[in-house]
Amino acid sequence: MGNTFKRLSVTGVAAVAIFATTTVTNASAASGAAACSVTGASGSLTFTNWTSHHVDISGWVKDNAADGHHVAIRLYSIDDGTGWVTDWPWHSDYDGNGSSLSFTTYASPSGDALDYIGAEVAVMEGNTIVRSCSDAA
């Protein structure tokens, strides 16, 4: 990444992701998507009604390998003003090769802004990331 960011774990409303290339202001609502694939997993997040303090999210993650691991996707956001990085909770699919999970949710941080958002897709072993990829909205 090049920059050092303070990390903040948030428990509560969930999603998936990495940073975006568009900065959002309170006066506008934007939309976008982030998707990627890594060996064993693929996924996507679609963002609507995106302001600096709220975003609606629909997403999916698919298990593409019979490797004994589960797959997951999450939103991640960056507050450009403070540098806070928020890793939102994972949405996981445990049903094995060929299965997928679809969901809708939202993110509304208290205090931090959603200036940059994206998705992270991962192959997981328990709570440990085995492989992952990310894409920006």
Q: What does pTM read for this prediction?
A: 0.80
DSSP H or E stretch at residue 43: strand 41-51
Instruction: Report residue 12 as tokens.
Output: 């509560």
Domains for the chain: give ranges and CATH numbers: 7-136 (2.60.40)
pLDDT of residue 5: 31
Contact, 94 vs 87, CB < 8 A? no
In tens, the pLDDT along 42-98 reads 999 999 999 999 999 999 999 999 999 999 999 999 999 888 889 999 999 999 999
In tens, the pLDDT along 12-57 reads 333 333 333 334 444 468 999 999 999 999 999 999 999 999 999 9
CA–CA distance, 120 with 43 (Å, rounded to integer): 8
